[in-house]
Amino acid sequence: MAQVHERHEFNSWALALEADALTLPQLAVLQELVDEGRVADLKTAAQFLDWQGEALDGVEHLYGH
């Protein structure tokens, strides 16, 4: 679980994906959503995680947890 004092690397999964700024483990988080059939593609997965971050823990979602 992310801690409040931890600095996150980006503010938006979708923007980081678009900027090709995600690490391989972060891309794996997106790919897992696609593989599970929860979303159609990586872009939609990134948008889903951004939405989830707004609805849940805004810091924690940036770590892919």
> Which tens digits make up the pLDDT trace of 2-30?
434 434 578 899 999 999 999 999 999 99
Q: How many CB atoms lie within 10 A of CB 37?
A: 7
- 43-to-1, 7, 8, 15, 16 alpha-carbon distances in Å: 24, 24, 20, 9, 10
pLDDT score of 44? 98
Q: Is the model's pTM score more than 0.85?
A: no
Q: Which residue has the higher pLDDT, 55 or 61?
A: 55
